Amino acid sequence: MTFVRNPKDFWAGFLFMAFGLGALLMARNYDMGTALRMGPAFFPTMLGALLTLIGVVSVVRSLLTQGVKVNRMALKEMALVVGASLLFGLLVRGAGIAISIVVLVMISGLASIKFKVAPFLGVAIGMAIFISLVFVKALGLQLPIFGSWFGY
């Protein structure tokens, strides 16, 4: 897309437009009401229209002004960090926080260029013990140290 001279403006505008139009479309299913008695669609429609407009302006501006290009996304790092968090969410009820923390640290650790199993396992176990002692035992947060899979 050579005619886009300011990619950051372009993509930001694209995102705003996507969210704005999405809000506008979805708000059509709700009751608009009147200005006197605003329905659930009233405010979202206003905001959606405004956001779409901002998006359009941003996209138009991206064609007119010069900007720096967006460098490559760190997709591998993103996948590991986000994947580790999701896995934590998946495991936490069944396995409990201790095991989930170890999994979270080890998988997200893979995103580092300095990853080595032994020291990261140390951090993982240390964190698991620390959180169990401080958050669960001392502060009394209702979290399962070991989850339902272990009969708790």
Site for another protein in 112-141 (CB under 8 A): 112-115, 119-120, 123-124, 127, 131, 135, 139-141
Using rule CB under 8 A, residue 70 touches another protein: yes
Among 89, 129, 133, 149, binds another protein (CB under 8 A): 89
Query: Is 3 or 37 the residue whose CB approaches another protein more closely?
Result: 37
DSSP 85: H
**Which is closer to another protein, CB of 40 or CB of 150?**
40
Burial zone of 61 (CB within 10 Å; 0-12 exposed, 13-18 middle, 19+ buried): middle
Do the beta carbons of residue 90 and residue 30 sit within 8 Å? no
Q: In terms of CB distance, is 3 or 138 closer to another protein?
A: 138
Among 90, 133, 149, 150, binds another protein (CB under 8 A): 90
Stated length of the chain:
152
Residues 40-69 binding another protein (CB under 8 A) are 40, 42-44, 47-48, 50-51, 54-55, 57-58, 61
| Min CB(58)–another protein separation in Å | 6
Give dist(CA 118, CA 121) in Å, integer. 5
Rounded Cα distance between 143 and 75, Å, is 32
Do 55 and 15 meet the contact criterion of CB atoms below 8 Å apart? yes
